[in-house]
Structure 1
Amino acid sequence: MFKKLVYEPKLFISDLLCLFLLLWFWFLLPSKLFLSPTSYVVEASNGELLSAAIAKDGQWRFPVADTIPVKFQQCIVAFEDQRFYQHPGVDILAMARAMQQNFKAKAVLSGGSTLTMQVIRLSRRESRTVWQKIVEVVMAARLEFSNSKEDILKLYAANAPFGSNVVGLDAAAWRYFARSPESLSWGEMATLAVLPNSPSLVHPGKNSVKLIKKRNDLLDKLAALKIIDQETANLSKLEPIPGKPLALPQNAPHLLQRFKVERAQLEIPVTRITSTLDYNLQLKVSNLLKRYQNKYQANDIHNIAALVLNVKTGTVQSYVGNIYQPEHKELQSHVDMIKAPRSPGSTLKPLLYASMLNDGFILPRTLIPDIPTQINGYSPQNYDLGYDGAIPADRALSRSLNIPAVKMLQNYKYQRFYDQLKKLGIKTLNKPADHYGLSIILGGSEVTMWDLAKTYMGMARTLNHFNEYQGRYNPQDYDAPVYIKQTAAKPRLAQEDAQINGILDYASIWNTFNAMEELMRPGEEGLWEQFSSSQRVAWKTGTSVGSRDAWAVGLTPGYVVCVWVGNADGEGRPGLTGVDIAAPVLFDIFRELPNEKWFTTPKHQLRKMRVCKQSGYKAGEYCREVIEELVPPAAEKTSICPYHKLIHLDRTGAYRVTDECESTAMMQHQPWFILPPAMEYYYKVKHSDYKLLPAFMPGCGDAGSNFVMEMIYPKPNAQIYIPLELDGTRGKVVFNVSHRSTNAKIYWHIDEEYVGTTKNFHQLALNPAPGKHTLTLVDEAGERLVQSFTILSKEKD
């Protein structure tokens, strides 16, 4: 009933052959047509070229562009392949015409290749034979089968030779005209369109007459095809052709190098990026830094760098890693100082201030000791070599005093601060906390400009987000800045994903930025508050030991600017300080940025607290002047004012008394602001309103409620080395003590042996023998102060 199906062997073989040919045709093209290395290219956010580097094979070859200019499409199609949009990759009519021309001339005059075939030939680089021509025809058809005409033109434009070592339209436009291909005129584009036809014979700087003729012929052809009018063609013919290739822009060479290094990590498949950099700002900052570098070179200061971040978007707006002068190798201008670990000087002090506010160690204006200090052989010094005795924490920050900073860190513990810096994103702390010790607050560690700017940007972003997250915190605020536009956009963190606690709370950051704003600005900027148009800026400077690094970092709600000045090789220079050298650059950069409104006060994060006006501590019962201040939530943990105490005076109020010499009924009980003797010794010099404690009534001894002597130098258990004088004799060490009574007489003893007496001014120059000693001080009332110290021998030094 049904016929039996019989499969003929010949038919089977035919089908199998067709399947094989189909598979061969499909897999004929490699997955990637062009394997040649491409140049690294960095563009500004508006597409303008900032910097480019030559490809590994020594060719200027840009990656395939997303689009190609319409002018180039029209020029190249008119010149090379007029039926490009009609044929399937092979133009039979053009090939027949070429064969006829070649046969008559008995030489190869024309190949009849289409643009598609030329793309194949450029990718294969095989010799021109009949067989290779056949292969090109088949591969061109295959290329047309899976790619649009626009994609094929992109491949051609990116890989066509333009003479010398210039490959591709983008590279050619910049090498010959110093502009992007989109901005070229008809005459310029026509010049480039004729170059791939015979790039080894005709290119700028060679055979100019022949090049001009080919260009003009193409312009006439464009006019004949009604692509341009004849008047445009004639005017375009008057344009000069370019000479030898020009150097490409190098307006962000260090960012280009950074992209080279980080490309694999960032998983960017191509060697071209559109950065987040503002083109105009990048050029302005570069020129600004060049002017300052020219000025500073007179003092043999050769390197300068600046980084500008957009706080609101978390992106890099300007990246100048150094003044790029490759012709002067000795200047080391190739070193990217934005990535280089350097001593930060005092730029970490605001982070300590904010951390102590955040953790309830201080209030914004808590008095901090500022007296001669020696801690385990470490003796910090203020920049001006003076002492205030005691100074409010915010004022110590705005004046960048070193001793109060060390005292604060001693209280906070350097181990805790070390951990905090790591949380904030400082990645260069690669040794244990004990390695840095207290010196970490004065530049004893290393940071990079990238990490420093990122940390301050994170703080600014946190404060900006106060209302957005309704008092919660976005952990992404401290993420690294982004410099690639394609990866810049991040989805907004959902409200439910925001965290209850941040690394630093809103109120502590707000107080810190306000303290940083009080720093006296350099030069004419010092009068900024007198001008309503002036920008409010929170800023901080830093100078490393040996004047090797000068820093300035500043911020507004919109921008963070960081500046470093120095020598890449670490050579220090006299006068290389943050406030004198880096700060002027900082404020000149801020003048180029939009004026931003100041941070919104995080009112429901701040708490009103009764604070002692004189000490800055939480007000106690004996504080006379109490004010209300806005303080961080952790302020409740702080201690009550320790410096206001109740003293007892006689009926006249002239002397202090005790119940041993005056009846309590006749006493006057008064609150009194009393600093420890060493703090008082320096504090009273700068505060004329400071009232010294009245002396005890004659015959009425101190009950021991207040110590009267304090050693200023040396501190207990100090180790002291006495150097030799110029004449070879052994020098002396100056011992210094403070006494609460201005007229007190003190008797000095070392190892129970009397060595001298002082009155009023208690300093004594001594020369103890090497070894451990005991110092005993006794005043006229019998008060004693005993402590040990060690004199080091020369060998131990």
Structure 2
Amino acid sequence: MFNNKVKIILASLIAVLIIGGGVWQLTKLPAPLFPDDYSTVVVDEDGEQLRVFLNSQEQWIFPPQDKELPAKLITAVTQFEDKRFYSHWGVDPLAVGRAIVQDLRAGKIVSGASTITMQVARLAKEKDRTVVNKLIEMIQALRLEMKYSKEEILRLYLNHAPYGGNIKGYQAAAQRYFGKEAADLTWGQASLLAVLPNSPSLINPTRGREKLKTKRNRLLDKLQRKGIIDETTCQLAQAEEIPQGEQAFDLAAPHLARRLNNKYKQDVIKTTINKDLQQQSTQIVQKYMQKLQQQGVNNCAVLIADTKTGQVKSYIGSNDYFDHQHSGKIDGVQMKRSSGSILKPFLYAGAMDQGLIIPPSKIEDIPNSYGAYSPYNADNDFAGVVTARKALVNSLNAPAVSLLDQYGVQEFYNLLEEAGITTLFRDAEAYGLPLALGGAEIKVWDIAALYRGLGNYGHFSGLEVMQSEDKLFTTVDQAQQLITPGAAYLTLDIIDDLKRPGADYFWRNYSSQYRIAWKTGTSYGNRDAWAVGTSPEWTIAVWVGNFNGQENQKISGLNAAAPLFFELFNSLDKDYYQDFFAKPKDDLEEIKVSAQTGYRLSDKIMEQDLADLTTAVVPKNAKPLRYSPYEEIVYTNQAQTREVCSRCWERDDLTKSLEVVYPPQVVAYLSKRGNNVYTTLPHRADCPTVTNNNPIEFIYPQQDSIISIPRGSNGNYQKVTFKVAHSGQNSKLFWYLDQQYLGTTKGSHQKLMLPASGEHQLHVVDGAGYHREIDFYVKK
């Protein structure tokens, strides 16, 4: 008998344990309670929304936040859903009793007695509405109460409750229905959100609006009866209209937001963008581009960064994200486009660091041929020589290519790559000398980073657009001092002299106008217009053109990009007390240079006290400025009709002077402009050391040139001007093409010719027997 009782007890205990274990397993809470599947929210530097993306289920559901829950919403929800929420343990016995009585009277389930905690259990894992499932929810509610605080449970409910359509959570609902943060909800709006999850598929702002209004007003009446709100507040809240649909989220910096969302899998992406500045600059761009689009120029991209920090504050990938006709969703900030001449300042800065030039140094401005490459200035005019300052201010091509030839293509290539250019996909040799004139493609992002580095006194560290260590889009591994502060400042000072377009041309007449170092560029064929610049506070890069690469004569840096550049610059806040970059006094020093050529003079010249000197500022930490390639001490007879030397001079008939001796090609252009240029004199004929210094130089073409002959507007091939320089005054030259005599020239040596396609030899000879010849090739 005893054994049977023991067996029954043991069997009962085992049964209880099995049932209890089954119930415990059946009521186990999901882990995690809710899947980590929320909308990605891209925000600006202050947490303001730039763009919100749907989650993987195509739902609007904001990631949970730690900020305080709205008091009005808490009150409305607890009064409507669970008035004893703060006193029960997950299940409200009074509500359960009331529900049982109501259900028995109705003969069906009409009241579920679900607490907010039970609803969290149901939201975590959807279940059919059955008695068994209701019991499971009750047990799960008890388990939730043991694990979470009341505030945490309420937060779980509000963050995941359904609010109609694909809207989940109170944050998304407040913005989609009312266009505001939940903290700013009125009593009427909070009450509407409180009643909405009760049956969101049947009653919501897009369907059943009258029933929804009735439910909301009942809740407001209840709040008034309980003294939570007064009569006036209740009446005003009930008078509020039910929203008629959903409102769109803000959309600022859409190209950037999309790119970040594709790269980073996180709920909230914090950027350095300033939303107000982003919206302001976008409006300026859109208004400006409406005018250009009438001229067939359809696309634009802009980047604005803080010069000191490198943080991007405005990112405009295109002027109209929704302009499908003109590919508005293309991100122009990351698009590779021809650089035009916007890289020239970095060449001049690098050349200063190498000691090749300083701003007053004279550079040759003549048409030279470098093999098959013959760069011309934009206006096809040449001055002979110009200062480095003037060459850069006027963006002259011939001096820039001459300077790059001296500086070295590989060295310039390395400088650009180390500074952050990411688009150099060929080696330096493949780019060659055109690298300085638009031969390379570049991104708006990269060029903004370069100019910001120049504005940071040659210290290059790239740009930032994330509030994290991740430097998106940038290949600069670490900050590098690639240009000395002195050379950077002198370059900035030069390009500050550029003339502003349009009404801003006389900008220096107005003390309120701020200075900015800037540069324009236009690609070959008028496909790309650039305006890029930097001030102590702001770095701005503007590209204007057509994403499809269509040519348009209206597309030029000065006419298309610069006006927008300055409109943006003028709209930015600025420091009244710092209108331009401060001189880096520790990185600049004064030296004596030639007043004629802007170079140092050799000790031999300085010892003879013949030089006309002036003071110039140079980068202190750069290589020493080179000696002048032009100044020479010239010994002549006193009548200055013959040069002499120590083997032929007569002591009583001797004078010496320091002369600027330019090459014959340079002399030809200077003389053409009426400049008083020293002309080489013939050496004393009976001198035993007379050399055969040839006074003849070809200007165009040069040895092994390839000449492409274009057709004129009438369809006929155009004649080519062949040019030769002779250092002698009133010299006479005899011309021969392929051994056929062509005639003579005197003083100015030019001939119009139309050679046939193929190889040719041009031969010229002067009256003294000096001669030169070159070979060239003609293509028609």
Question: Hey, what does 2:677 align to over in structure 1?
Answer: 691
SS in 1 for 2:262: helix
Aligned match for 1:424, one of 419, 429, 435:
419
Moved more, 516-525 or 624-633: 624-633
Question: Hey, what does 1:4 align to over in structure 2?
Answer: none
Aligned match for 1:715, one of 685, 702, 716:
702
Is residue 390 from structure 1 mapped to residue 394 from structure 2 by the alignment? no
Tell me if structure 1 keeps the 8 A contact 2:588–2:620.
yes
Aligned match for 1:455, one of 428, 450, 456:
450
Instruction: Tell me, in whole angstroms, the C-alpha distance in 1 between the residues paired with 2:16 and 2:399.
Output: 89
Instruction: Tell me, in whole angstroms, the C-alpha distance in 2 between the residues paired with 1:601 and 1:107.
Output: 86
Question: Hey, what does 1:187 align to over in structure 2?
Answer: 188
Instruction: Tell me, in whole angstroms, the C-alpha distance in 1 between the residues paired with 2:209 and 2:714.
Output: 81
**TM-score, structure 2 as length reference:** 0.89
**TM-score, structure 1 as length reference:** 0.87
Question: Hey, what does 2:499 align to over in structure 1?
Answer: 520
Tell me if structure 1 keeps the 8 A contact 2:589–2:617.
yes
Is residue 345 from structure 1 mapped to residue 335 from structure 2 by the alignment? no
Alignment deviations for residues 211-235 of structure 1 (CA, whole Å, 9 cap, x no partner): 2222222223333444433322222
Give the superposition deviation at 1:122.
Answer: 2.0
Q: Structure 1 residues 125 and 634 mapped into 2: Cα distance closer, same or farther (>3 Å)?
A: same
Is residue 639 from structure 1 mapped to residue 622 from structure 2 by the alignment? no
Q: Structure 1 residues 102 and 398 mapped into 2: Cα distance closer, same or farther (>3 Å)?
A: farther
Moved more, 138-147 or 728-737: 728-737
Letter matched to residue 193 of structure 1: A
Alignment deviations for residues 726-752 of structure 1 (CA, whole Å, 9 cap, x no partner): 898876433111223342111112344
Letter matched to residue 153 of structure 2: I
Question: Hey, what does 1:608 align to over in structure 2?
Answer: 590
SS in 1 for 2:494: helix
Instruction: Tell me, in whole angstroms, the C-alpha distance in 2 between the residues paired with 1:244 and 1:611.
Output: 75
Q: Structure 1 residues 618 and 523 mapped into 2: Cα distance closer, same or farther (>3 Å)?
A: same
Alignment deviations for residues 52-104 of structure 1 (CA, whole Å, 9 cap, x no partner): 23334332222223323333222222221223233333333323322222222
Instruction: Tell me, in whole angstroms, the C-alpha distance in 2 between the residues paired with 1:187 and 1:738.
Output: 89
Instruction: Tell me, in whole angstroms, the C-alpha distance in 2 between the residues paired with 1:206 and 1:718.
Output: 78
Q: Structure 1 residues 751 and 118 mapped into 2: Cα distance closer, same or farther (>3 Å)?
A: same
Q: Structure 1 residues 532 and 92 mapped into 2: Cα distance closer, same or farther (>3 Å)?
A: same
Aligned match for 1:322, one of 313, 318, 324:
318
Instruction: Tell me, in whole angstroms, the C-alpha distance in 2 between the residues paired with 1:549 and 1:507.
Output: 31
Give the superposition deviation at 1:410.
Answer: 1.4
Question: Hey, what does 2:530 align to over in structure 1?
Answer: 551
Moved more, 734-743 or 529-538: 734-743
Is residue 618 from structure 1 mapped to residue 613 from structure 2 by the alignment? no
Give the superposition deviation at 1:296.
Answer: 0.7
Give the superposition deviation at 1:293.
Answer: 1.2
Instruction: Tell me, in whole angstroms, the C-alpha distance in 1 between the residues paired with 2:664 and 2:675.
Output: 17
Question: Hey, what does 1:52 align to over in structure 2?
Answer: 52
| Number of equivalenced pairs | 756
Question: Hey, what does 2:63 align to over in structure 1?
Answer: 63
Instruction: Tell me, in whole angstroms, the C-alpha distance in 2 between the residues paired with 1:538 and 1:182.
Output: 45
Question: Hey, what does 1:492 align to over in structure 2?
Answer: none
Question: Hey, what does 1:493 align to over in structure 2?
Answer: none
Letter matched to residue 678 of structure 2: L
Question: Hey, what does 2:765 align to over in structure 1?
Answer: 778
SS in 2 for 1:591: helix
Instruction: Tell me, in whole angstroms, the C-alpha distance in 2 between the residues paired with 1:727 and 1:524.
Output: 39
Q: Structure 1 residues 144 and 335 mapped into 2: Cα distance closer, same or farther (>3 Å)?
A: farther
Letter matched to residue 132 of structure 1: N
Alignment deviations for residues 700-727 of structure 1 (CA, whole Å, 9 cap, x no partner): 8995597533211111121234467789
Letter matched to residue 692 of structure 1: Y
Question: Hey, what does 1:283 align to over in structure 2?
Answer: 279
Letter matched to residue 478 of structure 1: S
Question: Hey, what does 1:630 align to over in structure 2?
Answer: 617
Question: Hey, what does 1:30 align to over in structure 2?
Answer: 30
How does 1:86-485 map onto structure 2 within 5 Å?
86-264=87-265, 269-270=266-267, 272-326=268-322, 328-462=323-457, 477-484=460-467
Instruction: Tell me, in whole angstroms, the C-alpha distance in 2 between the residues paired with 1:626 and 1:261.
Output: 62
Give the superposition deviation at 1:419.
Answer: 1.7
Question: Hey, what does 1:534 align to over in structure 2?
Answer: 513
Q: Structure 1 residues 582 and 545 mapped into 2: Cα distance closer, same or farther (>3 Å)?
A: same
Letter matched to residue 221 of structure 1: K
Question: Hey, what does 1:739 align to over in structure 2?
Answer: 726
Instruction: Tell me, in whole angstroms, the C-alpha distance in 2 between the residues paired with 1:487 and 1:787.
Output: 57
Q: Structure 1 residues 304 and 651 mapped into 2: Cα distance closer, same or farther (>3 Å)?
A: same
Question: Hey, what does 2:6 align to over in structure 1?
Answer: none
Question: Hey, what does 1:571 align to over in structure 2?
Answer: 550
SS in 1 for 2:551: coil
Give the superposition deviation at 1:34.
Answer: 2.8
SS in 1 for 2:723: strand
Letter matched to residue 613 of structure 2: V
Question: Hey, what does 2:565 align to over in structure 1?
Answer: 586
Instruction: Tell me, in whole angstroms, the C-alpha distance in 1 between the residues paired with 2:14 and 2:348.
Output: 85
Q: Structure 1 residues 174 and 690 mapped into 2: Cα distance closer, same or farther (>3 Å)?
A: farther
Instruction: Tell me, in whole angstroms, the C-alpha distance in 1 between the residues paired with 2:435 and 2:110.
Output: 76
Identity of aligned residues (%): 37
Q: Structure 1 residues 537 and 392 mapped into 2: Cα distance closer, same or farther (>3 Å)?
A: same
Give the superposition deviation at 1:163.
Answer: 1.6
Say what the alpha-carbon RMSD is for the aligned residues.
3.2
Instruction: Tell me, in whole angstroms, the C-alpha distance in 1 between the residues paired with 2:393 and 2:32.
Output: 60
Moved more, 332-341 or 248-257: 248-257
Give the superposition deviation at 1:769.
Answer: 4.9
Instruction: Tell me, in whole angstroms, the C-alpha distance in 2 between the residues paired with 1:20 and 1:373.
Output: 96
SS in 1 for 2:530: strand
SS in 1 for 2:252: coil
Moved more, 711-720 or 674-683: 674-683
Q: Structure 1 residues 74 and 373 mapped into 2: Cα distance closer, same or farther (>3 Å)?
A: farther
Give the superposition deviation at 1:363.
Answer: 2.4
Alignment deviations for residues 350-386 of structure 1 (CA, whole Å, 9 cap, x no partner): 2222222223333233222221122221222222222
Tell me if structure 2 keeps the 8 A contact 1:455–1:478.
no
Q: Structure 1 residues 772 and 114 mapped into 2: Cα distance closer, same or farther (>3 Å)?
A: same
Q: Structure 1 residues 385 and 751 mapped into 2: Cα distance closer, same or farther (>3 Å)?
A: closer
Give the superposition deviation at 1:695.
Answer: 5.0
Q: Structure 1 residues 761 and 36 mapped into 2: Cα distance closer, same or farther (>3 Å)?
A: same
Moved more, 217-226 or 280-289: 217-226
Instruction: Tell me, in whole angstroms, the C-alpha distance in 1 between the residues paired with 2:392 and 2:17.
Output: 84
Moved more, 718-727 or 571-580: 718-727
